[in-house]
Amino acid sequence: KFNKASCISSIVVDEKKKNNFVFPYPVLNKYREPIFLSIKRKLYNFDDLKKKINNEIYYPYVQLFNGALISKKAISQIGNINKNYFIFGEEVDFFWRLRKKGDVISLLNSIHYHPNVSNRQYTDEKIYYYLKNSIINNYKYFKYPFLRSICSILILVIRVSKRNSINKLFGYIFGKKRFFFYKGIIRGFSKKLEIDHNEFN
């Protein structure tokens, strides 16, 4: 059944709350693309997912690279991970390149237990590459790239305020570290995919 798959992966769940996903899965449209203009855009647990799959044993999306089996043939065709993403977005890019060569699916009966990372603070570099690489991927792979990019920026602002603190968020927007924030946005829209954060040190 899965002989045309370029990647078969596990479902990644919270090692303590085993019904919850560590990385939410997107709700997909009929073309198996993440929907955007919808109230319900993410699936956060098994209960949500099972309502979407109509008794299937898999979901046509993966959260790389946890518990993933990747076709050697597909890798020979698309190449390896793009190192220029550095610390963010390389899994999204690799997913869509794999999708061009075959099905990319997560098996519901294959479970990968993972620590909850939702409270980890963002480093300067993670903020910079999150902004830049999210915008680049939005334009490479998705519809409504400008609107998606604005949402990516707002999501980053909310996450930094919660995980790092409001004061540190102000430091990135108005203070000494604003270059990480604004350069990430500008270079994202300029589609400058490269490792270039060292110039801020």
CA 168 → CA 117, 118, 121, 171, distances in Å? 19, 18, 11, 5
Residue 179: phi and psi, rounded to 5, are -65, -35
Q: What is the pTM of this model?
A: 0.92
Q: What is the pLDDT of residue 193?
A: 96
Which are the contacts of 183, defined by CB distance < 8 A and separation ≥ 6?
128, 132, 200
Q: Which two tokens stand for residue 32?
A: 């198996």
CB 11 within 8 A of CB 61: no
CA 161 → CA 16, 88, 130, 155, 173, distances in Å? 25, 19, 15, 10, 11
Q: What is the pLDDT of residue 59?
A: 94
Q: Which regions in the chain score pLDDT beneath 70?
A: 1, 201
CB 67 within 8 A of CB 83: no
Q: Which two tokens stand for residue 138?
A: 């939005």
Q: What is the pLDDT of residue 74?
A: 94
